[in-house]
């Protein structure tokens, strides 16, 4: 098939293991139905996933995604979070703020200068280096199997999105997008770019890159669909941990006012899910105009979404709570003291209080082999329901296809379907036998 296939993976924290599980189903099907993704763009944990996949170039897609799951299973809580030492340092810095101590006195007393983060992101560096094969990534981009890898960050100076791009010679760097305030920067990707993309505000300090300070790309663009299209993707697979469509009805309202944990969980759902929902809806509308002949400026963009169905969006949070109880309940909590403290910091572990919101927050920070394995299995289960486009040729856009200026592109879809091209009830084979393409 002509043209390029893109893969966009959203930010998700420890839920990145779920995304890896989704890819065990989606990646082989994308490769078989369209072509191996060669434009890879992600945010935060999604950036880690696409970089890892680029470093697995040449591997069978099923083997590559299975290896990605294995690498997530290798990550431990204490590799990412050291709550006692981080809390003491942040507390000392905050005490200096409360007391109004000048910088010279803080240095004399051995206190941190300012509160810049609650957790130390530098602990993540060995994890990133272990998960991504950087030499293989650079080689794949230079030689052509991978056309470009983009990592979305948020500029601490402007508040806009900056996509750091390592690209091959056949991929032009997109110009600044004033409509969405997206800037593209040529670079040779390193672990620092992934650490910046994952620098969740308040939890982690912003990272210094090139000309400024950067933090989590999910603040502005958690699911970077438009950058994938601007980099030349003619059709895209999209992986997220939130449903592609809004849930029309929520649970009955509680009797008491929502606590801070409930509000934090709600804010997280909005940041992670609202953007992709709107972007997918926008692209679907453009596709419908193209199909009716009412828009001759754009080509049709095939979109294949894989993530939680609309009626199963809460399952990851429930899974985090279940794994925590099973693996670390009671005295077993001593096996992972950081997790024990972390759960209480996000509002979980109180016997007579609904722990739903605490479990949702925990699912983004639950770096643990047992949770990674269970989350990956759930991701594969959800992705198995993703409806394949009914016509690969129909979903292939012209090489000069461009995203509409108003779009952070995508297409709305019922559940985990490929909305703009799916025939209801029709699915591609889960694992094509005898026709398994190689991942680039």
Annotated catalytic sites, by residue? 44, 216
Closest CA to 369 of 113, 71, 98: 71
Query: What is d(CA 17, CA 14) in angstroms, rounded to the nearest whole number?
Result: 6
Strand partners, 6: 39, 236
Query: What is d(CA 392, CA 382) in angstroms, rounded to the nearest whole number?
Result: 22
- Extract the runs of DSSP E, i.e. beta strands, from 135-193: 148-155, 161-167, 182-186
| Cα Rg, the chain, nearest whole Å | 21
Angle separating helix axes 369-383 and 16-33, nearest 10 degrees: 40
Q: How far is CA 390 from CA 41, 243, 333, 417, 432, in A?
A: 25, 21, 49, 11, 16
CB-CB contact of 57 with 440 (8 Å): yes
Query: What is d(CA 224, CA 151) in angstroms, rounded to the nearest whole number?
Result: 9
Query: What is d(CA 36, CA 171) in angstroms, rounded to the nearest whole number?
Result: 17
Residue 81, judged by CB atoms within 10 A of its CB (0-12, 13-18, 19+), counts as buried
Residues 6+ apart with CB under 8 A from 104: none
Q: How far is CA 272 from CA 11, 107, 223, 358, in A?
A: 7, 39, 8, 17
CB-CB contact of 303 with 414 (8 Å): no
DSSP 216-276: EGGGT-SS-HHHHHHTTEEEEEEE-SS-SS--S--PPPPSSPP-HHHHHHHHHHHHHHHHH
H/E element holding 4?
strand 4-9
């Amino acid at each position: 098939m002509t043209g390029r296939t893109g893969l966009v993976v959203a930010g998700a924290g420890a839920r990145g293991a779920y995304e890896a599980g989704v890819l065990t189903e989606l990646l082989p099907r994308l490769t078989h139905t369209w072509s191996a993704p060669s434009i890879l763009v992600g945010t935060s944990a999604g950036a880690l996933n696409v970089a890892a996949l680029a470093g697995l170039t040449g591997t069978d897609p099923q083997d590559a995604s299975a290896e990605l799951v294995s690498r997530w299973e290798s990550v431990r809580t204490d590799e990412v979070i050291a709550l006692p030492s981080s809390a003491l340092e942040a507390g000392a810095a905050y005490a200096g703020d409360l007391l109004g101590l000048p910088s010279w006195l803080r240095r004399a007393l051995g206190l941190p200068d300012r509160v810049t983060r609650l957790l130390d992101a530098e602990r993540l560096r060995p994890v990133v280096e272990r998960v991504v094969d950087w030499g293989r990534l650079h080689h794949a981009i230079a030689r052509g199997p991978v056309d470009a890898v983009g990592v979305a960050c948020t500029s601490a100076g402007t508040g806009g999105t900056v996509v750091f791009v390592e690209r091959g010679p056949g991929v032009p760097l997109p110009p600044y997008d004033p409509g969405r305030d997206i800037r593209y920067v040529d670079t040779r990707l390193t672990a620092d770019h992934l650490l910046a993309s994952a620098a969740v505000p308040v939890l982690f300090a912003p990272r210094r890159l090139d000309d400024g300070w950067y933090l989590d790309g999910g603040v502005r663009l958690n699911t970077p669909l438009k950058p994938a299209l601007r980099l030349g993707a003619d059709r895209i697979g999209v992986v997220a941990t939130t449903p592609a469509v809004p849930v029309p009805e929520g649970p009955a309202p509680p009797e008491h006012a929502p606590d801070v944990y409930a509000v934090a969980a709600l804010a997280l759902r909005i940041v992670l899910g609202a953007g992709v929902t709107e972007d997918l809806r926008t692209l679907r509308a453009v596709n419908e105009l193209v199909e009716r002949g009412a828009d001759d400026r754009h080509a049709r963009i095939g979109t294949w979404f894989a993530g939680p169905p609309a009626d199963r969006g809460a399952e990851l949070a429930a899974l985090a709570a279940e794994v925590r109880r099973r693996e670390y309940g009671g005295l077993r909590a001593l096996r992972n003291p950081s997790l024990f403290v972390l759960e209480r910091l996000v509002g979980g572990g109180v016997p007579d209080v609904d722990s739903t919101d605490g479990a949702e927050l925990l699912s983004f920070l639950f770096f643990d082999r047992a949770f990674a394995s269970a989350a990956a299995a759930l991701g594969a289960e959800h992705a198995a329901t993703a409806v394949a486009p009914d016509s690969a040729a129909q979903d292939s856009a012209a090489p000069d296809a461009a995203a509409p200026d108003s779009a952070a592109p995508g297409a709305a879809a019922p559940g985990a379907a490929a909305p703009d091209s799916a025939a209801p009830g029709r699915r591609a084979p889960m694992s094509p036998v005898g026709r398994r393409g190689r991942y680039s």
